[in-house]
Amino acid sequence: MKHWDILLSNQVDKKTFIDTILSGEIQGELSVFNMLSGILYSDISIQKLIEEEYQHDSIKATKEPHRNLRSFSSGERKKEFLKYCLKQNPDYIILDNPLDHLDQNSRIEVTIAIENISNSVRIIQLVNRTADLLSFITNKAIIKDNSFELKNINAIENNLFENDSYKIPIHKEIFNDRVLVKMNAISVSYDEKPIIDSLSWTIKQGEFWQLIGPNGSGKSTLLSLISGDNTKAYGQDIELFGRKKGSGESIWEIKKQIGIFNTSMTDLFNKSYSLEEMILSGFFDSIGLYTKPTTLQRRIVAQWLEVIEMSHLKNKIFNRLSVGQQRVALITRAVIKHPPLLILDEPVEGLDDHNVAMVIQLINTIRKETNITILFVSHRVEPNLSPNFVLELTPSQTGSKGVIKHHLGTEIK
Ligand SMILES: Nc1ncnc2c1ncn2[C@@H]1O[C@H](COP(=O)(O)OP(=O)(O)OP(=O)(O)O)[C@@H](O)[C@H]1O
């Protein structure tokens, strides 16, 4: 059975490419799939199924009678959805970045599951990162543009972003030891299922943290306790930016102190905004620009556009930027108000190797040139990022325990 493993550049209009295959109109070597019935395994189809379950108040994807897909963590959703796709008995399955959002163990589990189904279903795997190519698939190709032409994978040029850092420094602030977040013996459970068990965590100004843990271990839950979005924070011993949680603070006061990027927010924006407007909206914590920006705010954006080398794209419609440029712009949007805390939830997910390098360079510039505390979540070890500390969540019967380590692995007592 002939499978395909295809490396896609972010330049490729992936949706159109997938639609062309599924509608049986693809040209060239993939045209053998035109007479077959295929199914798409992707984050978008997972999202669609979640909406369907929600609208019809039904449970389609999972065996558990009272649990819809929405209540699973992103990693758990992927595993459930793979099983659901296979139940439809397709001739072939298009796997769109199947390993994204998965922790190391789940990556191995899903890779084995894919290899197991490869005897009965043809596979077309689409990935953005070279590291995600599957060794058992021998037919490999790269597609670089919207001609959708399959090229020999050996022809991958080393086109990584080459500059060491962005050129214009941002003003460094005097380092202080201010405590931004202090959690003392936090425990969270959902429907009596313990998720986090007695976790204590202190984050200070200027630190660089990575949060890791298997799928479902409570990373998003923990972030939502900080960003003020989770009612479970009440009644717990949490101090945010010098104020005890539940002491009458407003959610907006907390949001002012935090810049956030996560991959799902990308879809919330009206993408007809210009690049400049998109970044300006970061001053107002709004999904859109409803307030007239000041001259100073415009000047700061102009400065940042120089930093990220996108001044010439200032008036370009956000939607028309490359995926990597959009990602850099959204992280810049999160940082524009110079928040004490920047939360980056899987900032390089879905990017190709070139764009990953571009985003990592931006994170390193923020790290080097500002006193902003960075907290990033990623399942992958990114060799070019060096956080000071790693908080690792390890699930147990009583909920996840948190262990704090130095980046290189030594545990801090
Ligand atoms: N509102 C909710 N109701 C019930 N269970 C929930 C709710 N939100 C999260 N959970 C459960 O809590 C657990 C932790 O979820 P969370 O999203 O915090 O994990 P995570 O570490 O971010 O996972 P991933 O790496 O897969 O994104 C999961 O088992 C999830 O199913």
The reported pLDDT for the residue numbered 161 is 44
**Are 4-154 and 179-406 equal in CATH topology?**
yes
Beta bridge partners of 239: 182, 244
How high is the mean pLDDT of the chain?
85
Least confident of 66-75, 189-198, 290-299, 377-386: 66-75
Q: What percent of the chain has pLDDT over 90?
A: 42
The per-residue pLDDT for 270 is 62
Between 334 and 232, the more confident residue is 334
The reply to whether ligand 1 has any atom less than 6 angstroms from the CB of 215 is yes
The size of the chain, in residues, is: 413
- What is the pLDDT averaged over residues 141-149? 92
Q: Is the pLDDT of residue 174 over 80?
A: no
CB of 18 within 8 A of CB of 30? no
| C-alpha 289: how far from chain center | 24
How remote is the CA of residue 72 from the centroid of ligand 1, in Å? 6
pLDDT above 80 for 28: yes
Q: Is the CB of 195 under 6 A from ligand 1?
A: yes
pLDDT above 90 for 392: yes
pLDDT on residue 64:
65
Rounded to an integer, what distance in angstroms lies between the CA atom of residue 127 and that of residue 123?
13
Q: Residue 232 has which token pair? A: 């479970």
Does the C-beta of 219 come closer than 6 Å to ligand 1? Answer: yes
Confidence class for position 273, pLDDT limits 50, 70, 90: confident
Q: Cα of 134 to ligand 1 centre, how many Å?
A: 28
pLDDT beyond 80 at 274? yes
Instruction: Report which protein residue has its CA nearest ligand 1's atom 7.
Output: 71
Residue 194 CB neighbours (<10 A)? 16
pLDDT digits (tens, 9 = 90+) for 30-88: 999 999 999 999 987 888 888 887 777 776 666 666 677 777 776 678 878 888 888 89
Query: What pLDDT does residue 169 have?
Result: 42
pLDDT at 31: 95
**Average confidence (pLDDT) over 277-286:** 88
Give the Cα separation of 92 and 88 in Å (integer). 11
How many CA atoms within 13 Å lie on the side-chain side of 46? 26
Q: What is the b/e burial string over 217-254, where b = at least 16 CB atoms within 10 angstroms of the residue's CB?
A: bbbbbbbbbbbbebebbeebebbbbeeebeeeeeeeeb
For the domain made up of 179-406, give the CATH fold.
Rossmann fold (3.40.50)
Residue 183 pLDDT more than 60? Answer: yes
CATH number at 4-154: 3.40.50.300
Per-residue pLDDT, averaged over 244-270, amounts to 80
Beta strands, E only, 252-346:
258-262, 341-345
Q: Is the CB of 81 under 6 A from ligand 1?
A: no
CA distance 371 to 294: 24
pLDDT digits (tens, 9 = 90+) for 88-125: 999 999 999 998 888 877 788 888 888 988 888 999 99
402 pocket-lining for ligand 1 (C-beta < 6 Å)? no
Residue of 190, 193, 211 to mutate, ligand 1, most atoms within 8 A of C-beta = 190
Angle of CA points 53, 59, 60, to nearest 5°: 90
Closest CA to 360 of 340, 389, 380, 390: 380
Question: Is residue 4 a contact partner of residue 30, using CB atoms and an 8 Å limit?
Answer: yes
**Is 331:347 a contact under the CB 8 Å cutoff?**
yes
Where is mean pLDDT largest: 104-108, 258-262, 319-323, 405-409? 258-262
Residue-level pLDDT at 166: 53
Question: Does residue 357 register a pLDDT over 70?
Answer: yes
pLDDT of residue 267 exceeding 50: yes
What is the pLDDT, as a whole number, of residue 413? Answer: 47
Domain ranges in the chain?
A: 4-154, 179-406
| Residue 217, ligand 1, Cβ within 6 A | yes
**Residue 202: pLDDT over 90:** yes
